[in-house]
């Protein structure tokens, strides 16, 4: 089903209009103003509440709204399904859409359970053979500074990478009076900081280094055990924070720390990559900057340089503003949609794939298992099985 | 001409589709997705080249394009004229539009000459009596961090302000091989760093402190006297850099430095405001941050705090993303259009006014005159006359 | 043996004149110029090479030099023994000195083995009953910024601390051509980054929070397995890097990361302490600064403040220079000697004690054991026994 | 009078034991522990109060104390006079010492008046012919980061320098209740921020660039006009802050700003040097760091690098500690004494000379005159005359 853009514009439908729906809609509304992409139309925004979704559709630039995603998937004028619904709905929608021949972009996490993620990945593999594309939304791969980091590493500028230090720190749960919500229950959210934000860190580690996690040691903690619910205190059943040490292929190690109670840290995905010939550091709160140390220059003048990743020479930047006119967080979604549309046009596999999403989930599952067992756990990439060393 | 939004949407036309046209169009295209604004339509984009402007109109979200701004101004379905054309065209277009009863938003500088700026201001005053609004686009007033700075100062958090240190540093002319252009000729650009970027610094000093410049001492320099033109080297007739010391009302002093040859500084508007009870610093390259020192807390724990101005409590931020998800440079234009639309709806004077723009231009003129005379120059706010102390 | 300073000055002997000997000598030479301390004399510097130690004694301000530390310990005019010799010599010297009734200051680590450390601690406990004092040199407790951090935490300014993020990153082993040395052999150095630098991080975590480590999970890695020796490549038998997750009393967690191959990090002990009411961060490369976020101020103006810990109000600073005139790394040893001398004068226990040193070593041993077993290990503070959860 | 170190150690006397006396004494006490210098002895500390100076001598490492500097100057066993007395005493002591054949190190400013500075410079020139050396204490030339900056500039790494941005910001007078003192009276202090701290900025600009100031435009301000004295409010007769724009040889411009009311800035000498091929920035509050941007590397990877100037390859650092173990503010005086002693030994002119000090004073005088006249003032280096452009 390679799309022929001359024929007619791609019809796009998005499912979900909350935080992620707003961010994705923004990307669809703006991508063609900055990038050369195949023609498309923002056709339908789908949501459960007819009135609210109609309002959101008008506000976010969609021609129509709808409440039944199944009907939308069946429409002939819809070619792309962008899934921004909660994680527990991903599998059902994505599989149905792929089977209906629609290209699918799905927000991370791929699914709330490994089993669902595996079904989705199988459906994606099958659809791919028919020219139907799929992609998971690890949008931070499209932060220009991280895309530049990827380039520098691929060019060998860091030499042999020894270890990565990754943390994703937030503080919106630091106050014990912050009320109970679906995000704090295992049955609805799957996990806490682990799946929500550590997932980004794990994806970046593998994306940037090109290496795969082989073994993990993990610890989870819930600092605030109860939170106020409508009918009194309720038990929090997911983690507030997580720590993991990863062993990767290529003789590489990594540490991951994620917390939603790190007071004062607002949205700080911190990455530090140490190699034999150089190092890189990054913080999402200053996402236009990449710190790079080139250890091949004379020691006398070595130092981490703050590269303001805002030059036409940098990934995605030629489309935006002159140098030093910084971009924001939501631009990463615009880049994501740009790359997705180009892949659909070219009939090529967009990256990251559902396989990449499944792989991250296997790592997260192993972290959980390691925390339960208090022992290191091997991640068996090919099969999705994880296995305790202690056993 | 108070607009009744119930009646029909405001029709907007923009003139110019280069750098500023792209930034303004982006604001019009997105403002209603984030803010509650009166209904409006992106009607017409106007430019000299019919083919290019048609392409730009399609790309940037305008319903139509046109090449004759005079015709557009006369249209009944157009209520707002957004002038992004070069500075030498501002006066003619703005005056015509105001006389035709259109609300006008004009990019800074107000005009290339003081005489033109005075005519425009007079036209704006006249139009205002008929309910026709006008605004000059010092967009950095809508950087949330600077809007917060303004609030803190207005609340007295800095106590009595003693002095401001302002610089606007760029480097796109650092290379002497960068070719000649209209921006480097006095007859087309008026001035160099002075009008282009020092203007922003001067506006911020007056905006943030609420005080008016009374006296200036200025120095201008052109470091690269000749640059390559198509037919050989041409003389650069504007300044590469400017320095000024300002005396303001309220017993306040300020320094201004602007350069387009400050190698490594990309778009760095730096502001430092020192008061008896606290201080603030800011850098446009990290525009989501405001550094605040509260000198009323015990010395033992005093220090500049980095406020990540990304909370719902901060100006304009409730409309955007959750905390720590930073915004970019172009969002300042979205905020500007939002405030302009609300003022038009309410029949109130948008800020900054043409008077504010004229005032900045008087200061810049005095800097130029001081540099010529090598002596301090008084700025006579009320009349626009400037007068040498040495005389 | 409470010293009566009126009687006669304390006689000090230092053993070792390499890196640590130089740093300690500097402290003895200068402490009385800045602090009020009991009278003392820099009597003897002890080392194995008679000529070199004589030269060092002259250079570093010691009245004499000697080569036999046993003789020096027996001298009546020596009251204080400062042990800067390598770790494997600590136990023998310290125990002999304590038995001879000399006050002892010993560089960290307390010893190379847990068994030695326990013997030393027993000797110190016995000596203490006779008024003979002992101290271990975790000098970073005397960084003014960290002493201030301790004060703020003790005052409850962070509320309930949830987790600490600690790292000690260096890069002097990043180059695989850096040659083999005693520091890279298990038999001489005990361990690598673990004992050398992670020890400081572990001490700080317990010192700052006042909580004790109860359980650890650890991983060790050697990235450069062989290094050039005089007769060809030799095997490196200690770790290049270490990761640990700590469970502490008080419902507190901590992560520790230490590396000597973190290219571009020179001597970066990074600490981040997250509490319910505030947070602190610190980096030893900017040791005059403490970053403090007070979460009890309104969100609108919250942010990490850079406290330049150089005011008379700050710990140790009144003795030095006016505000903003920063101090260096070696000043921490001067503070250490000051506090040691005052404790000796007052007959009180200097802090940190040998018990504190022993406790850190138990934690490090547990990290090593956890890494070997790939499972979490309990630290039994009272007995020094460690025990596997997996068992 | 070339000193022959074999003969006998150089005898040193210091005059003054307040802030600067303490800092200089520290340098004399420690220099030989770190650097190879000719043998010398800390003989006499001189002060007006016999008891206090005796106490200070004991504390700071001097063998004796004295109250009559004239007698000390005449002693045969004294070869070096280090003048840390207030500025108004410099001329008399320095001239007498030079005439008595003593090498002289004098704190900045050279003198309180231009006339005195000229007499001192003449005396130094005369003494130099007899092998008697003299030096002025612009100690910041010995900050390793600034010494490295000087090297990089001398090697051409910045290309053609266009402009320098310098500021020296402090806040110890920000509080209007800070009481009156001799430093705030013109008759005792000469000037305020101008002579006290702007002098350092002016010296650095000329030192780093190797260019001479030819023309200045200056403005002075006193924000707090009266301060509490013992008998009620007293008038402040010196400046709180100063601004100057400098035109230098070599087609170079510079701005200088100095303030003692810049709330939150403790001791912040900020330097930014912009050249065609690179740039440097520096802040004294982080004196171990130099930021360097090399504009000759590809734009894609350009950025200011933070060089931690703590490697053996850096000026003065081999003498101190391993990499990343930072040094403090007072080390600059140790470096100064080291270089002074070496010059005395070698019979060469130490740098900066009295001529350099005089030159800075001419620039400061011109700034004062420009502020008085509200017009630019030429600095005529060769004659010390200054001349108004307006005249």
Q: Is residue C351 part of a domain?
A: no
With respect to residue A156, please indicate whether it lies within any of the assigned structural domains: yes
Give the closest residue to C85 by CA, choosing from C138, C25, C17, C23.
Answer: C17
CB B345 within 8 A of CB B186: no
Q: Please report the pLDDT score of residue A266 as a whole number.
A: 97
Task: State whether B307 and C301 contact (CB < 8 Å).
Answer: yes
Domain shared by C220 and C271, yes or no: yes
| Closest residue, chain B, to A169 (C-alpha) | B324
The dihedral formed by the CA atoms of A107, A113, A119 and A123, expressed in degrees to the nearest 10: 0
3 state SS of D164 = strand
What per-residue confidence (pLDDT) applies to D6? 52
Helix (H, G, I), strand (E, B) or coil at A7: coil
pLDDT band, residue D198 (cuts 50/70/90): very high
Nearest chain B Cα distance for residue A374, angstroms: 34
User: Cβ of C243 and A253 within 8 Å?
Assistant: yes
Chain B residues touching residue A26 (CB < 8 angstroms): 30, 33
User: How do residues B300-323 score in pLDDT, each as one tens digit?
Assistant: 999 999 999 999 999 999 999 999
Give the nearest partner residue to D301 out of A299, A302, A307, using CB atoms: A307
- When scoring C160, C162, C391 by the number of chain A Cβ atoms within 10 A, the one with the most, hence best to mutate, is C162
Q: Which pLDDT does position A1 carry in this prediction?
A: 42
CA–CA dist C270, C164 (Å, integer): 10
Answer left, alpha or beta for residue B101, where phi above 0 means left and psi between -120 and 50 means alpha: left
C318 touches chain B (CB under 8 A): no
Query: For D6-51, what is each residue's pLDDT tens digit?
Result: 568 999 999 999 999 999 999 999 999 999 999 999 999 999 999 9
D22 CB-near residues (< 8 Å, 6+ apart)? D56, D60
d(C-alpha C316, C-alpha D345), whole Å = 37
- Is residue B226 domain-shared with residue B158, that is, in the same domain? yes
How confident is the model at residue C321, as a pLDDT? 97
Q: B374, D264: Cβ pair inside 8 Å?
A: no
What pLDDT, in 10s, does the model give residues B133-162? Answer: 999 999 999 999 999 999 999 999 999 999
Which of A60, A267, A288 shows the shortest C-beta gap to B33? A60
CATH number of domain containing D304: 3.30.360.10
Q: Does D284 touch chain C (CB under 8 A)?
A: yes
**E strand spans, C155-275:** 161-169, 213-221, 226-229, 232-235, 241-248, 252-259, 268-275
User: In angstroms, what separates the C-alpha of B233 from chain A's closest C-alpha?
Assistant: 26
A215 and A98 in one domain? no
Secondary structure (DSSP) of A58-111: HHHT-SEEES-HHHHHH-TT--EEEE-S-HHHHHHHHHHHHHTT-EEEEESSS-
Give the confidence band of B7 by pLDDT, cuts at 50, 70, 90. low
- Omega before A109 cis (within 30°)? yes
Last residue of a domain, one of C140, C173, C205: C140
Contact criterion met (CB < 8 Å) for B241 and D264: no
> Could you give the percent of chain A with pLDDT greater than 90?
93
How many beta-carbon contacts under 8 Å exist across C and D? 91
- The rounded mean pLDDT for chain C is 94
Q: From the candidates D170, D264, D297, which should be mutated to test the interface with B, based on the most B CB atoms within 10 A?
A: D264
Q: Note whether C212 and C182 are same-domain residues.
A: yes
What are A121-145's pLDDT values in tens digits? Answer: 999 999 999 999 999 999 999 999 9
A209 CB-near residues (< 8 Å, 6+ apart): A153, A161, A164, A248, A250, A252, A273
Query: What pLDDT digit, counting tens, does each position of A89-100 carry?
Result: 999 999 999 999
* CB contact C221 to A (< 8 Å): yes
List the one residue out of C304, C270, C284, C281 whose CA is nearest residue C166.
Answer: C270
d(CA B291, CA C360) in angstroms, rounded, equals 39
pLDDT of the residue at D7:
61
Residue of chain A whose alpha carbon sits nearest to that of C262: A274
Q: Please state the rounded mean pLDDT for residues B177-204.
A: 94
Is C98 found in the same domain as C61?
A: yes
* pTM of the complete model: 0.96
Q: Is residue B225's pLDDT more than 70?
A: yes
Angle, alpha carbons C269-C273-C276 (nearest 5°): 175
CB contact under 8 A, B324 and A26: no
3-state secondary structure of D246: strand
Predicted confidence band of residue A188 (pLDDT cuts 50, 70, 90): confident
Q: Report yes or no: A258 and A201 within 8 Å, Cβ to Cβ.
A: yes
**Ramachandran region of residue C363, left (φ > 0), alpha (ψ -120 to 50) or beta?**
alpha
**At C383, is the pLDDT very low, low, confident or very high (cuts 50, 70, 90)?**
very low
Tens of pLDDT, residues C191-217: 999 999 999 999 999 999 999 999 999
Q: For residue D360, what is the enclosing H or E element?
A: helix D354-373
State chain C's maximal CA–CA distance in angstroms. 66
Question: In what helix (H) or strand (E) does residue B346 lie, and over which residues does it extend?
Answer: helix B331-346
Residue D223 resides in a domain: yes
Kind and range of the H or E run holding D14? strand D10-15
Residue A390 has pLDDT above 50, yes or no: no
Q: H/E element holding D304?
A: strand D304-308
Q: What pLDDT sits at residue B8?
A: 84
Q: Is residue D199 part of a domain?
A: yes
C39: closest CA of chain A, how far (Å):
43
Taking the Cβ of residue D36 and every Cβ of chain C, the question of whether any pair is shorter than 8 Å is answered with no
Same domain, C249 and C175: yes
CA-nearest residue to C36 within chain D is: D59
Closest B-chain CA to A265? B324
A236, A227 in Cβ contact below 8 A? yes
Residue that finishes a domain, picked among D140, D173, D193:
D140
Distance from CA of C192 to the nearest CA of A (A): 16
Strand partners, A307: A290
**Sign, CA torsion C8/C9/C10/C16:** negative
Are residues B106 and B132 both part of a single domain? yes
User: For chain C, where are the alpha helices, taking DSSP H only?
Assistant: 19-34, 50-60, 69-74, 87-99, 114-129, 144-154, 186-189, 193, 199-209, 331-346, 354-373
Q: What is the pLDDT of residues A49-90, one digit of tens each?
A: 999 999 999 999 999 999 999 999 999 999 999 999 999 999
Q: What is the pLDDT of residues B95-106, one digit of tens each?
A: 999 999 999 999
pLDDT for position A3: 46
In a domain, C343, yes or no: no
**Over residues A178-196, mean pLDDT:** 93
Q: pLDDT of A4-52, one tens digit each?
A: 545 689 999 999 999 999 999 999 999 999 999 999 999 999 999 999 9
A157 pLDDT tier (thresholds 50, 70, 90): very high
What is the pLDDT at residue B90? Answer: 96
Mean pLDDT of chain B: 94
Asked whether residue A385 carries a pLDDT value surpassing 90, the answer given is no
Pick from A223, A263, A376: CB nearest C278: A263
CATH number for position A55: 3.40.50.720
Is C248 contained in some domain? yes
Q: Using CA atoms, how far apart are residues D229 and B247, in angstroms rounded to an integer? A: 29
- What residues in A contact C171, CB-CB < 8 Å? 274
Beta bridge partners of B377: B216, B388
CB contact residues (below 8 A), chain D span 130-189, against chain C: 170, 172
Answer yes or no: do B215 and B292 share one domain. Answer: yes
Q: What pLDDT, on the 0 to 100 scale, is given for residue C387?
A: 39
Predicted confidence at residue D286, as pLDDT, reads: 98
Indicate whether C381 pLDDT > 70.
no
Beta strand C40-46 with B241-248 is: unpaired
Domain tally for chain B? 2
Measured in angstroms, the CA of D82 and the nearest CA of chain A are apart by: 33
Report pLDDT for D188: 87
Q: How many Cβ atoms from other residues are within 10 Å of residue D210's Cβ?
A: 14
What's the pLDDT tens digit per position in D107-158? 999 998 999 999 999 999 999 999 999 999 999 999 999 999 999 999 999 9
Q: Name the neighbours of C, counting chains with at least 3 Cβ pairs within 8 A.
A: A, B, D
Average pLDDT over residues C44-53: 97
On whether any CB of chain C is under 8 Å from the CB of B81, the answer is no
pLDDT digits (tens, 9 = 90+) for B350-384: 999 999 999 999 999 999 999 999 999 999 764 33
Which of A152, A294, A303 has its CB closest to that of D292?
A303
Verify whether the Cβ–Cβ distance D305 to A293 is below 8 Å: yes
Whether D34 maps to a domain, the answer reads yes
D218 in Cβ contact with D368 (< 8 Å): yes
Beta bridge partners of C304: B306
Q: Do D162 and B261 touch (CB under 8 A)?
A: yes
Domain housing B317: 144-286+288-327+362-370
Q: Give the three-state DSSP class for A282.
A: strand
For residue D327, pLDDT beyond 70: yes
| Sheet of B64-66, strand order | B64-66, B40-46, B10-15, B80-83, B103-107, B134-137
A281 touches chain B (CB under 8 A): no
Whether residues C177 and C312 share a domain: the answer is yes
Question: What's the pLDDT score for residue C7?
Answer: 62
- Residue D137: closest CA among D268, D57, D285, D24: D24
- Contact between C274 and A251 using a beta-carbon 8 Å cutoff: no
How far is the C-alpha of C149 from the C-alpha of C309, rounded, in Å? 10
Q: Given this model, what pLDDT does residue D76 score?
A: 97
Which residues in chain D are contacts of C144 at CB distance < 8 A?
Answer: none
Residue labelled with tokens 């101090």: C327
The overall longest dimension of chain D from CA atoms, in Å, is 66
Residues A192 and A318 in one domain: yes
Is C65 part of a structural domain of the chain? yes
Same domain, A173 and A62: no
Using the 3D structure, point to which of A125, A140, A155 is the last residue of a domain: A140
Alpha-carbon distance B225 to B213, whole Å? 31
| Same domain assignment for residues C177 and C310 | yes
Judge whether D241 is closer than 8 Å to chain B, CB to CB: yes
Distance CA B73, CA B220 (A): 39
């Amino acid at each position: 089903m390679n799309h022929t853009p001359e024929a007619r514009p791609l019809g796009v439908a998005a499912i979900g209009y909350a935080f992620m729906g707003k961010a994705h809609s923004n990307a669809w509304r703006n991508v063609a103003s900055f990038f050369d992409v195949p023609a498309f139309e923002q056709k339908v925004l789908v949501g459960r509440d007819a009135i609210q979704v109609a309002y959101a559709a008008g506000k976010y630039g969609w021609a129509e709204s709808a409440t039944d995603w199944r009907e939308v998937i069946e429409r002939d004028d819809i070619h792309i399904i962008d899934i921004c619904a909660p994680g527990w709905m991903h599998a059902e929608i994505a599989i149905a859409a792929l089977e209906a021949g629609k290209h699918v972009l799905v927000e991370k996490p791929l699914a709330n359970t490994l089993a669902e993620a595996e079904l989705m990945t199988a459906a994606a593999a099958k659809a791919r053979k028919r020219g139907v594309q799929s992609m998971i939304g690890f949008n931070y791969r499209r932060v220009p500074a991280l895309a530049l980091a990827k380039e520098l590493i691929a060019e060998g500028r860091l030499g042999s990478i020894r270890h990565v230090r990754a943390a994703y720190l937030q503080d919106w749960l630091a106050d014990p009076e912050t009320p109970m919500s679906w995000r704090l229950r295992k049955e609805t959210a799957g996990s806490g900081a682990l799946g929500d934000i550590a997932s980004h860190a794990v994806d970046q580690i593998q994306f940037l280094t090109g290496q795969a996690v082989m073994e993990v040691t993990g610890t989870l903690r819930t600092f605030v055990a109860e939170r106020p619910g409508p009918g009194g205190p309720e038990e929090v059943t997911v983690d507030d924070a997580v720590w993991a040490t990863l062993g990767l292929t290529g003789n590489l190690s990594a540490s991951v720390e994620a917390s939603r109670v790190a007071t004062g840290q607002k949205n700080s995905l911190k990455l530090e990559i140490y190699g034999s010939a150089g190092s890189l550091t990054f913080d999402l709160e200053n996402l236009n900057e990449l710190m790079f140390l080139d250890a091949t220059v004379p020691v006398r003048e070595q130092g981490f340089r703050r590269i303001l990743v805002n030059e036409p020479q940098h990934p995605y930047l030629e489309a935006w503003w002159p140098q030093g006119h910084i971009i924001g967080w939501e631009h990463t979604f615009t880049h994501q949609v740009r790359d997705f549309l180009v892949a659909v046009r070219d009939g090529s596999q967009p990256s990251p794939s559902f396989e990449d999403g499944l792989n991250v989930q296997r790592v997260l599952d192993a972290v959980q298992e390691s925390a339960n067992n208090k022992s290191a756990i091997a991640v068996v990439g090919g099969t999705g099985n994880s296995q305790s060393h202690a056993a």
